Amino acid sequence: MKNLALHWQILIGMVLGVLFGYLMTNFEWGKALVQDWVKPFGTIFINALKLIAVPLILASLIKGVSDLKDISKLSKMGGKTIMIYILTTVIAVSIGLVLVNVIRPGDSISEKTRKDLVENYADNTQKYKEEAKNQKESGPLQALVDLVPSNIIGAAGSNKNMLQVIFFAIFFGIGMILIPEEKSTPVKAFFDGFNEVILKMIDLIMLTAPFGVFTLLAALVAEAPSADLFKALGWYAFTVILGLMTMIVIYMGLVYFFTGKSPKFFLNGISPAQLLAFSTSSSAATLPVTMERVTEHLGVEEEVSSFVLPIGATINMDGTSLYQAVAAIFIAEAFGMDLTFGVQLGIIATATLASIGSAAVPGAGMVMLVIVLAQAGIPEAGLALIFAIDRPLDMLRTTVNVTGDATVSMLIAKSEGMLHEPQVKNWDDNYKK
């Protein structure tokens, strides 16, 4: 096991976790054992990754912005980054709408299954409805107000406030550019060293990744609801998965067309981050590994990756946006609604904008979905129809989110002349130091 590459260790941990969780479901005491003695270690693993997410964003983004040494260069790179992120999000939502209208998974949902799901998950959906209601009732400029924190310590205290942390980091970096270089040099040296310490902490945490993903997936399988509910929603899951796979193919095509790098090169470079994203369902928790893979294994200069990836972890949610489009139409079909083309165009706009402010944590897409449903006039109670299988699909769409971030970082690096041969060609090389 020790001689295996880390991504193979992670994959083995995932498979063993699924098998162990399924085995435990055959015993009356199995679920309780997993919840009490296995799941806590998975929680510790996720907490360790989240622990360094905010420090990493602060250190890497401040370093990345200050390295630009030119405000015009920052503006140019930032504009291209946001434009490409928005474009890929619109593509993702459109693909979701096309697939769900062709496959029409809602037609396979029976009345009995719908009633069972609504009854089983009524309490859970109420929580999401209340959170989304607060966001919906806020003013048109509330998103802009929320972008600027009144207290950076308070903003850094929660991974849900990543946009505020990013705003502060960019603002701080701009301040460093504008002051004399002799004044900024000591500050830059501090953040360079701080960034190196955080990256070494990532190395140490990743040594426990195989066990971490084992515990996470074992708990997921042990806590899963009846298999009958998954069968009833099989076509819905198939539609979402097909859409997410299509996005992966599009990413590989973009990388090949614009950078000349083969799909094999791209997938080999980013696969450990994809596996971790799948296990944690959190772009923020995966960010440290994504940055390491993109910089050392895909050849993107740190000046680009430290700027593009933290922003992408917050505003680039292609997988989440695609899922929201499919889920909205699926729920409408289940309730016998036939949405017009105009309403579906509204879903594209709403899902795109909602994804920008979505927290990079598990379950955030469900809150944003309520806003999409409300905009389209779809009954919010329909959330219960998809809640049973939301977590497995959340894992998959987070994988797509992370892959999209890596893709855009390569495109930006190529356009800026900052894409080179990777520093590390083998995963183990980085963890045998």
Please provide the DSSP assignment of 159-228 as one string: GGGHHHHHHHHHHHHHHHHHS-HHHHHHHHHHHHHHHHHHHHHHHHHHTTHHHHHHHHHHHHHHT---HH
Mean pLDDT computed over every residue of the chain:
78
Higher pLDDT, 409 or 390: 409
Q: What percent of the chain has pLDDT over 90?
A: 14
**Per-residue pLDDT tens over the stretch 208-230:** 888 888 888 788 777 655 555 56
| Terminal C-alpha separation, the chain | 18
Closest CA to 88 of 216, 230, 250: 250
Q: Is the pLDDT of residue 319 over 60?
A: yes
Question: What class, spelled out in words, does domain 6-431 have in CATH?
Answer: mainly alpha
How far lies 127's CA from each of 46, 133, 401, in Å?
23, 10, 25
Judged on CB neighbours under 10 Å (0-12, 13-18, 19+), 120 is middle
Q: What is the pLDDT of residue 433?
A: 39
**Per-residue pLDDT tens over the stretch 76-99:** 777 888 889 889 988 998 999 899
Q: What is the pLDDT of residue 231?
A: 65
Q: What is the pLDDT of residue 256?
A: 94
Query: In terms of C-beta distances under 8 Å and separation of at least 24 residues, what long-range contacts does 181-189 make, across chains too?
Result: 184/66, 188/63, 188/66
Residue ranges of domains in the chain: 6-431
Q: Is the pLDDT of residue 372 over 70?
A: yes
Give the HSE-up count for residue 387: Cα atoms under 13 Å, Cβ half-sphere: 24
The 3-state DSSP composition of the chain as helix, strand, coil percent (nearest 5) reads 80, 0, 20
